[in-house]
């Protein structure tokens, strides 16, 4: 950052749209499903046909309350829907059913980590329920509309303008996604559009209390893209201001190929949504007992889980952080600990060899043919010297490929370590004959030369000789004799 | 006061295309309507909850159970133009 740029402060607020993974849509009974042929998941409500009436999906409301509780939001006891009016072909009714002044959730917060090891709290202004719009594909000569996505339940989570750098925005998104992933309310897949993020960004002189003019960034399809787009846009705004011009309030699209923001130039009219209460839906009330019930059934959230893992299983913060990144992995870890006492060892396996196998197979831990029992059995085979750590990693790969247990594989492939004195003695005989000069060095007191012979023994035995045992036998023969 | 520009702006928001001679009469109509509503502004409504719905009903829900969607052949009968199973519309982005 140049000296002229340091006189500015960045202000970022984020709007995150989460598609809720209910079976059906927000206001009708069409299936809520991604990737079907265009316009096969639609009904008169989706198409906004005259006479059709929306009815609220109870599950979507429950999911919204669950998310609100997990984000520390207050839940409105009186909730209503409103019409947001706009004309665009992705919206056949010419209005989107959304929530204007009575959002279901408000005033929450998310803590993000800071560089000095403490936390910064990012406020959540509100989270409201609404329906998704259809999908537009722009051809050369026309636009094509698919209404399958129309009516998909969305929760729009609006943050306070509390973030001061693209990295903070990135950390906020990571944390939000992690919490959401624990709640079973969305598949949070940005590639499928289940999680979408728009960013509002402005700059102001350091110390100023008024906000600068903001621009809205859209079309970022990953958290990294959000961060890069913000970096680009902040830089652009600096240049505009430093050249004496003013930032224009507008919507900009992030172009991932050109790595720049471009003006949207949409034919959608200026925003004047003329919200008014949706007459087709009656309001609803949320009882305190319902909220208590939801809170009671919330799963343990990532942060408490992290602290508990560090505390209860003596994991390092680093190891625990990786394990809790996925709820299914955290569960897997705890299931292992029910039958095996060493948390550090299990976490080394999960964050090491198992993670490598998961990445290689592009699969979750629940889809790689591994149970906690099988993993613990494998770890125990290393503990009791049946196999070395190195061989164990190969055995893991074979277990996942074949679905067999470690015992079966070790048996079938004859992978058990040779610890038997007689067999190892024969091996050492050969080595002593082949490496007379090394033998002399050992006898002369060069301890490191033993390591060379052990290495040769491992090579000859294709990894099966017990290295500890071989070392002991070599020393006994050459030094004690 | 409602200006002619206000009338044109509101018509534009609703995609209503007005003839020039219609603007004047609509301006008078709109002024009357707004003037009528403004009478209500004189009332003290401090302690009155805004009415958000005319029906005395709350909490009308639907269970999250899938029902069949329309057959696409049926759906596309209402399309003015179509391509590859999608509704074809004039291009909306430059």
**pLDDT tens across A188-219, in order?**
998 889 999 999 999 999 989 999 999 999 99
Nearest C-alpha of chain B: how many angstroms from A286?
A: 9
Residue B4 in domain: yes
Residue B78 in domain: no
Quick one: B43 exposed, middle or buried, by C-beta within 10 A (0-12, 13-18, 19+)? exposed
Q: Which residue of A has its CA nearest to B61?
A: A56
Residue B89 in domain: no
Residue B30 in domain: yes
Query: If you search the block for the tokens 């949320």, which residue do you land on?
Result: A286
Per the structure, the count of domains in chain B is 1
Residue B13 in domain: yes
Nearest C-alpha of chain A: how many angstroms from B82?
A: 8
Name beta bridge partners: A217.
A199, A252
> Which residues form the domain of B34?
1-44
Model ipTM value = 0.90
User: At B3, which CATH number?
Assistant: 1.10.20
Please answer yes or no on whether A85 and B87 come within 8 Å at the CB atom: no
CA distance A49 to A32: 19
Residue B18 in domain: yes
Highest mean pLDDT of the ranges A310-319, A469-478, B38-47: A310-319
Q: Is the per-residue pLDDT at A1 higher than 70? A: no
Nearest to B58 among A61, A139, A282 (CB): A282
Residue B59 in domain: no
pLDDT of residue A463: 78
Query: What token pair was written down for B35?
Result: 């003037």
Q: Which residues contact A338 (CB under 8 A, 6 or more apart)?
A: A372
Which residues of chain B does A47 touch, with a Cβ-Cβ cutoff of 8 Å?
75, 78
What is the share, in percent, of chain A residues with pLDDT greater than 70?
A: 97
Which residues of chain A does B55 touch, with a Cβ-Cβ cutoff of 8 Å?
282
Distances (CA, A) of A13 to A18, A125, A207, B19: 16, 10, 18, 43
Mutate to test the interface with A, among B65, B91, B94 (most CBs of A within 10 A): B91
pLDDT category of residue A4 using cuts at 50, 70 and 90: low
pLDDT of residue A444: 86
pLDDT of residue A445: 83
pLDDT of residue B92: 85
Reported for A167-172, long-range contacts at CB under 8 A and 24+ positions apart, including other chains, are: A167/A227, A168/A12, A168/A112, A168/A120, A168/A122, A169/A12, A169/A14, A169/A199, A169/A226, A169/A227, A169/A230, A170/A223, A170/A224, A170/A226, A170/A227, A171/A112, A171/A113, A172/A14, A172/A110, A172/A112, A172/A122
Considering chain A, tell me which residue range(s) the CATH 1.10.10.410 domain(s) occupy: 421-480
CA distance A190 to A57: 24
Q: Which residues contact A248 (CB under 8 A, 6 or more apart)?
A: A213, A215
Please answer yes or no on whether B61 and A30 come within 8 Å at the CB atom: no
pLDDT digits (tens, 9 = 90+) for A182-192: 999 999 998 88
pLDDT of residue B61: 95
Is A464 or A401 the better-scoring residue by pLDDT?
A: A401
Fold of A421-480: Arc Repressor Mutant, subunit A (1.10.10)
pLDDT of residue A270: 57
CA distance A284 to B58: 5
Please answer yes or no on whether B60 and A55 come within 8 Å at the CB atom: yes
Please answer yes or no on whether B83 and A142 come within 8 Å at the CB atom: yes
Residue B63 in domain: no
- Enclosing H/E stretch for A198: strand A195-205
The region of weakest confidence among A167-171, A331-335, A352-356, A457-461 is A457-461
Mutate to test the interface with A, among B62, B63, B80, B82 (most CBs of A within 10 A): B62
Does residue A461 contact residue A423 with C-beta atoms inside 8 Å?
no
pLDDT of residue B39: 87
């Amino acid at each position: 950052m140049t000296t002229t740029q340091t006189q500015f402060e960045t202000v970022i607020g984020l709007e995150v749209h989460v598609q809720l993974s209910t079976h059906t849509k927000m206001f009708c009974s069409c299936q809520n499903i991604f990737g079907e042929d265009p316009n096969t998941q639609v009904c008169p409500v989706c198409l906004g046909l005259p006479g059709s009436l929306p009815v609220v999906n109870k599950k979507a409301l429950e999911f919204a309350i669950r998310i609100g509780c997990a984000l520390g939001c207050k839940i409105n006891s009186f909730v209503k829907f409103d019409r947001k009016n706009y004309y665009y072909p992705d919206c056949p009714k010419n209005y989107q059913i959304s929530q204007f002044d009575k959002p279901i959730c408000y005033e929450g917060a998310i803590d993000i980590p800071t560089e000095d090891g403490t936390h910064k709290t990012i406020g959540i202004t509100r989270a409201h329920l609404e329906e998704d719009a259809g999908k537009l594909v722009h051809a050369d000569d026309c636009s094509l509309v698919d209404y399958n996505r129309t009516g998909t339940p969305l929760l729009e989570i609006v943050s306070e303008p509390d973030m001061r750098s693209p990295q903070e925005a990135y950390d906020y998104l990571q944390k939000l996604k992690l919490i959401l992933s624990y709640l079973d309310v969305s598949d949070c897949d940005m590639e499928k559009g289940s999680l979408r993020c728009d960013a509002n960004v402005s700059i102001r002189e350091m110390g100023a209390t008024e906000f600068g003019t903001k621009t809205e960034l859209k079309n970022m399809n990953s958290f990294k893209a959000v961060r890069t787009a913000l970096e680009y846009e902040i830089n652009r705004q600096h240049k505009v201001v430093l050249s004496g011009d003013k930032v224009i309030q507008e919507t900009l699209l992030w172009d991932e190929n050109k790595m720049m923001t471009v003006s949207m130039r949409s034919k959608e009219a200026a925003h004047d949504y003329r919200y008014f209460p949706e007459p087709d839906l009656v309001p609803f009330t949320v009882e305190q007992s319902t909220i208590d019930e939801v809170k009671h059934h919330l799963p343990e959230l990532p942060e408490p889980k992290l602290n508990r893992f560090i505390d209860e299983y003596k994991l390092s913060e680093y190891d625990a952080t990786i394990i809790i990144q996925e709820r299914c992995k955290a569960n897997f870890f705890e299931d292992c600990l029910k039958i095996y006492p060493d948390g550090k060892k299990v976490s080394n396996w999960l964050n090491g060899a198992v993670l490598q196998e998961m990445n290689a197979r592009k699969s979750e831990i629940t889809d790689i043919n591994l149970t906690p029992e099988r993993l613990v059995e494998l770890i125990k085979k290393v503990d009791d010297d049946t196999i070395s750590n190195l061989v164990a990693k190969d055995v893991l790969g074979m277990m996942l490929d074949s679905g067999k247990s470690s015992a079966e594989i070790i048996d079938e492939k004859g992978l058990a370590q040779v610890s038997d004195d007689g067999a190892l003695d024969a091996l050492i005989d050969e080595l002593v004959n082949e490496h007379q000069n090394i033998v002399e060095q050992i006898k002369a007191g060069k301890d490191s030369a033993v390591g060379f012979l052990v290495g040769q023994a491992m090579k000859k035995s294709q990894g099966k000789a017990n290295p500890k045992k071989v070392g002991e036998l070599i020393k006994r023969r050459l030094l004690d004799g | 006061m409602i200006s002619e520009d206000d009338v044109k702006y509101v018509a534009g928001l609703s995609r209503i295309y007005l003839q020039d001679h219609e603007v004047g009469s609509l301006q008078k109509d709109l002024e009357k309507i707004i003037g009528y509503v403004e009478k209500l502004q004189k009332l003290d409504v401090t302690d009155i909850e805004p009415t958000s719905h005319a029906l005395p009903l709350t909490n009308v829900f639907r269970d999250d159970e899938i029902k069949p969607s329309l057959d696409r052949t049926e759906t596309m009968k209402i399309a003015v133009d179509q391509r590859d199973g999608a509704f074809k519309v004039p291009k909306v982005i430059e």
